[in-house]
Structures are given as structure tokens and as C-alpha cells.
Structure 1
Amino acid sequence: MHTNIDRYKLQWILTFIAVAEHGSFTAAARAVNRAQPRVSGHIAALEDALGARLLKRGTQKVELTSAGTRFLFRAQRMCHEFGAGIEEVAALSNELEGHIKIGSYPGASAVLIAPLMQRFQLRFPRVKLELIEGEANYLEKAVNAGDVDIAIRPADAPRHHHELASQILCRERIVLIAPSGHCILRSNRPLLGSLVNESIIVTGDPHRHWSDYRDRLDREGVDPENTVVALMPTTVVAMVTAGLGIGLLGAFAAHMLEKANIHAVKLPLPLWQREIQVLFRGDKSADSELATYFLGMLTQEGPGLSNDLASW
């Protein structure tokens, strides 16, 4: 058995199979619902980990190398067995029962958690799902106190309970929102330096004097005239709509709240994205095992739910 199998990500292998079966990076990107640069990155990472070139990149059609042909057979076989295992577990759905308490912040709740709860409930009708929403600090406390089994929250929010287990779920894009007709919307790449004379409205915790994206503005050398910290994304959108400033929001919330009279503009990567983490206690209770299964389903279906709002 390969002693370093943990170096390889399943997403890389699934992407490689898609490229091999569809014959091009473009077609594979459509099939796996990922951006083409992401597909290229997966292939490069897999080839680097293997220490072998798997594909011949031609002008017309991607072809397999000798190593790629051998690896494809094994990869397809592995994925077939993995899929069969998932189906066997799913066949036990009527036997699964319990209660999962999921903590989440509003943007992720709308784009990821709500639709996934619907799918999970259809598959496992005897499992009760409960969503508990809150800001990042509250969610961390809730996990630590056992009030929720897992919590989805921005990773750049301050941590206090470092004994909790965590993992990175995805990277959510950060967008700028402005009223229709605002001069900053006239450029495909907004000039953040022009925000110096603006009021910037962001989410955060005004009671603890912490705000989202302050570190990124500092790295851009932008010191706004005024920064307003709102607890909820809906407040940011309301204030921008009222012409009280320019907003910075996570793409999940902006996608759900965008109106006809305001527009969202994606800011340049990699700076303007944030890691979204999952917090959990790591115990072995029945409910925590159900939560782990829910997290696995979220990891698998999240890319399709979020489209280009986040990278996985």
C-alpha cells in the first residue's frame, strides 16, 4: 500500500478522471462545475504528488501518457468502489436517526446549509436537523458549550477556544457592493484607493470592536474616512441602498441580498477571499457522528451549491 496516500486529494483524482473522459480541460471544468484554472491546478497538484506527467496537452485534444493510462484505470476502479460504499451506507438511511444541531453564519446558511438540510432530510427522514444561526464568536461558544454539534464560520474571526477541532471548508470570495451608478462600478477592477474618501460599511462585532476585512484594507493601504460596523449583512445592504456608504461583504450574503438598485463587484484574488472553517468538539457521540456525515455531504455538494462564490 502507498505509505503517503494522505498526500492525495479525492478532488484531484475526480478532476483527472473528468479530463481523461471528456478529452479537454474546458469540458471537464463544465462537468465538475469548477473554473478551468481550478481544474488545471488539480491536475498539476496530482502530477506533482505522483512525480509523473499524466496528460499530453495538445492544441486539439488532451491525451493520456503511459503513466496516465495506468493511473486512470486504478482511479476509476477506486472511485467505483468508493461510490458503491456510499450507496451501501445510503441504503441504511431508514436506520439512521438522531438530532444534529448545526451552527452557521447567515451567508453560509442561505447558500449552503438550507439547501443541504433539505437534501439531507429527504435522504435521512429520521434524523432531525436544527439550524442555530449567529455571529462567529457566538458560534464558537455554542460548539464549546455543546449547544451545537458543528459550526460553520469565517476563520479570520478571533478564536478563544483553541481546544476545539477545526478544518477549512472553503474560501469565500469577498465582494464590494455599491449603489447603481456609483463611479466605482465603472471599472472592471475597482480601484480600492478611491475608498479613502468613502464611508465603508462592513460586518463584524461592534460590541467587541472587531470588524471584517480591516486587515485587507490595511494591506491595500486603504484608510477609509469612516468605517461602520454592522452586526448583520442585511444592515450593510440597507445602508448601501440608502446611499450611506460602500459595503464589503462575503459573496454568500451578497448573492442572496443583491437588489436591483445595488450591485456587487468581485475583488481581486487571492487577498479578497476568506477561509471558512468548521468547528467541532471531536467527541464520539452518536449525534457527533451524524454531524460528521452531514459535513461529508456538505464537502461533496458544496461546490455545486456555491458555484463561483467560493473555491473548494
Structure 2
Amino acid sequence: MIKLEGVASFAAVVEAGSISEAARRLNLSKSVVSERLAELEKAMGANLLRRTTRRLTLTEDGAAFLERATRILDEVEAATTDVAERRGSLAGPLRISAPVTFGRMHLGPALYPFLARHPELELTLDLDDRRVDAATDSYDAVVRHGPLESSRLVAWQLAPSRRLLVASPGYLAQMGNPATLADLQWHRGIFYANRGAADWRLQGPDGTGIARAAVALRVNNGDMMRDAAEAGVGIALLPTFIVGDAIRRGALAVIDIGLQAEPESIYIAHPEGQRVSARLRAFAECVRAAIGSPPYWDEWAASVVFCS
């Protein structure tokens, strides 16, 4: 008899490229995955994988079986999703990586009621600003801000993201309000350390301009950049999901020089070829609905006073 767990293990091994990596992703021992593969091949009466000391490759029978096996697993996942939706609950593990600031400020408040509605869901939310590899690090998906950097990922947009030049009213009163791109060179800048160069790339009708400023602070955390700007350290270019509340409170003023940072996205991405679980779809829909359109952190935008 062919067991579904054996089919799932076979598909996982093909996707991962090795038994050990598949075992890690399935949270099983290597021996258990190997036993399931052996049982499947015995039940099929055919070798599905060609094993060498360095790699696993599909046999002709394995390639033919994989196509149908993937459809079977997708159908089972869809059926499971249907039952879960009928019961109003989701179950099982889900591992997500997200940036520290966005996770703390926006993912948490969105997900706490979601988790309360689905008590059998086992969510691991790993907050880290480094660019992790979703497949290698065994994440179901990554939430990221900015451009999509890997062609091996399939991304869904959660929300558009605007970035603005901001500084405290006290800093601008002391140092003056920049009115042009050239004016920024006389100011102190707060820069995101992982982005490399200490400059700001801004766009307008006539193209892209680059403004450089004296470095006051480099740090790899958006919260600290915002706090430093509020404290009067200098000017920062930050997304509105970080500074929206500070602008609304008047702790930060928006600097308008007629140019804007290139629009970015907040997106969730999963490895290409990976089956998308009901848990992941529900997670993404929950976050997208909580953010709203336009994003709730931009609600101040209609009445914001630009400092120019």
C-alpha cells in the first residue's frame, strides 16, 4: 500500500535536493525519511531516485511519478484547507522570517488575534534584519521590505511602502530647512548600515539625484534611526511604517525638496516551486487585511505639513 507520508517525503527530498535537508524541513530524522522512501519504492516496485555519493537524481519512473504525486499532494492540501475553513481553524507549523522593526510594530498586532482564532497553529516568527535564504534556512516564507532580491522567490505584495526624509523640528530650526538636493550636503545624516553608501537616492520629473551628507550615525535598525532623528541627531530617510506615528505626533517633520525616494513594497515571499499551504495563505491574508489599503500607518498623509 502506498502511504501519503511516503509520497510527501519523496516530494520533499526532490525539492530539497537531499534526504538530510528534507528531513530538516520536515522536522524528522534522516532515518525516518529514508525508511519512508524505501517503503514507497517497494510499494511502487520501481526505483524513484538514483543515489550517488554526491547527489540524488530522479529516475525516469521517478520523474513521471513526481508530476502526479505533486498534484495529489496539492489536492490533499486543498481538501485540508477546505475542511479547516469549514471548521474555522488552521493547524500545524508555520515558520516565518521578518524584519525586527516591522515585525514588532505591525506583524505582532495583526497576528495576535489571528493566533487566538487558530489555537492549533504553531507559528515561529523569527525577527531578523539580515537577508535570510528562505529555502536554505527552512522558512515557509519571509516578510521583507524593499526590492525582491532573489529570482528563486515568489512574492506577494502585502502593502506599498513610501520612504520620506524626516528630521526633528528642533534640528531643522537649528540647521535650517533644506529646499534643494544640494542643500542636503550641509546636513548630518542617519543611515541604514546594511545599505552601504552614505547617500540618499531621490527621484523627480528630471530623473534621479543623489544627495550626500555628513554621517552622524550608521545603524542597522529602523527603530534606532527614528529615535535618533527624533533626538535631533540628523536627517533620516525612513519608511512611513516606521515614522508615520512620529510625524502625526509632531516629533518628526517631513522634508520636501521636490524629490521622492523610489517606491518600495512590503512583501511576503516563498521559495519557487514550494507548495503553498493553507496556513501560509491565511497568514498573508491576515496581514494584508490588517494593514489595509492604503496602509493604516499612512492615514496622517492627507493632512501632513511638509517642512520646506
Pair in the same fold by TM > 0.5: yes
Contact 2:162–2:239 (Cα < 8 Å) also in 1 = yes
How far did residue 198 of structure 1 move? Answer: 1.0
Q: Which of 82, 100, 112 lines up with 1:118 in the alignment? A: 112
Q: Which of 82, 99, 108 lines up with 2:93 in the alignment? A: 99
- In the alignment, the residues of structure 2 paired with residue 219 and residue 197 of structure 1 have an alpha-carbon distance, to the nearest angstrom, of 20
Mapping of residues 1-312 of structure 1, within 5 Å: 90-94=85-89, 96-138=90-132, 141=133, 143-156=134-147, 159=149, 161-183=150-172, 191-205=180-194, 209=196, 214-216=200-202, 219-226=208-215, 228-255=217-244, 262-265=251-254, 271=261, 273-283=263-273, 288-303=277-292, 306-309=295-298
Aligned to 1:64: none
- In the alignment, the residues of structure 1 paired with residue 233 and residue 175 of structure 2 have an alpha-carbon distance, to the nearest angstrom, of 19
Aligned length: 216
Contact 1:203–1:229 (Cα < 8 Å) also in 2 = yes
- In the alignment, the residues of structure 2 paired with residue 124 and residue 305 of structure 1 have an alpha-carbon distance, to the nearest angstrom, of 27
Aligned to 1:19: none
* Deviation digits for residues 263-308 of structure 1 (CA, Å, limit 9, x no counterpart): 142767864532222221245558x431122112222332169315
Contact 2:169–2:252 (Cα < 8 Å) also in 1 = yes
SS at the partner of 2:212?
Answer: coil
SS at the partner of 1:132?
Answer: strand
How far did residue 179 of structure 1 move? Answer: 2.3
- In the alignment, the residues of structure 2 paired with residue 201 and residue 274 of structure 1 have an alpha-carbon distance, to the nearest angstrom, of 19
Comparing 147-156 with 214-223, greater Cα deviation is found at 214-223
Aligned to 2:14: none
Contact 1:172–1:309 (Cα < 8 Å) also in 2 = no
Seen in structure 2, the aligned counterparts of structure 1 residues 119 and 187 have a Cα distance that, compared at 3 Å, is: farther
Stretches of structure 2 lacking an aligned partner (at least 5 in a row): 1-80, 302-308
Seen in structure 2, the aligned counterparts of structure 1 residues 110 and 255 have a Cα distance that, compared at 3 Å, is: farther
SS at the partner of 2:265?
Answer: strand
- In the alignment, the residues of structure 2 paired with residue 290 and residue 275 of structure 1 have an alpha-carbon distance, to the nearest angstrom, of 22
Stretches of structure 1 lacking an aligned partner (at least 5 in a row): 1-85
- In the alignment, the residues of structure 2 paired with residue 200 and residue 163 of structure 1 have an alpha-carbon distance, to the nearest angstrom, of 35
Seen in structure 2, the aligned counterparts of structure 1 residues 292 and 187 have a Cα distance that, compared at 3 Å, is: farther
Contact 1:175–1:248 (Cα < 8 Å) also in 2 = yes
How far did residue 116 of structure 1 move? Answer: 1.8
- In the alignment, the residues of structure 2 paired with residue 201 and residue 148 of structure 1 have an alpha-carbon distance, to the nearest angstrom, of 32
2:202 alignment partner AA: R
Contact 1:241–1:261 (Cα < 8 Å) also in 2 = no
Contact 1:108–1:152 (Cα < 8 Å) also in 2 = no
How far did residue 187 of structure 1 move? Answer: 10
- In the alignment, the residues of structure 1 paired with residue 127 and residue 241 of structure 2 have an alpha-carbon distance, to the nearest angstrom, of 15
How far did residue 130 of structure 1 move? Answer: 1.9
How far did residue 201 of structure 1 move? Answer: 0.8
Seen in structure 2, the aligned counterparts of structure 1 residues 234 and 297 have a Cα distance that, compared at 3 Å, is: closer
SS at the partner of 2:183?
Answer: helix
- In the alignment, the residues of structure 2 paired with residue 285 and residue 193 of structure 1 have an alpha-carbon distance, to the nearest angstrom, of 50
Contact 1:173–1:266 (Cα < 8 Å) also in 2 = no
How far did residue 231 of structure 1 move? Answer: 0.5
How far did residue 146 of structure 1 move? Answer: 4.0
Instruction: Normalising by structure 2, report the TM-score.
Output: 0.56
Seen in structure 2, the aligned counterparts of structure 1 residues 230 and 290 have a Cα distance that, compared at 3 Å, is: same
2:153 alignment partner AA: L
Contact 1:106–1:253 (Cα < 8 Å) also in 2 = no
- In the alignment, the residues of structure 2 paired with residue 87 and residue 270 of structure 1 have an alpha-carbon distance, to the nearest angstrom, of 45
Say what the alpha-carbon RMSD is for the aligned residues: 4.0
* Deviation digits for residues 177-201 of structure 1 (CA, Å, limit 9, x no counterpart): 3223333799999655432111211
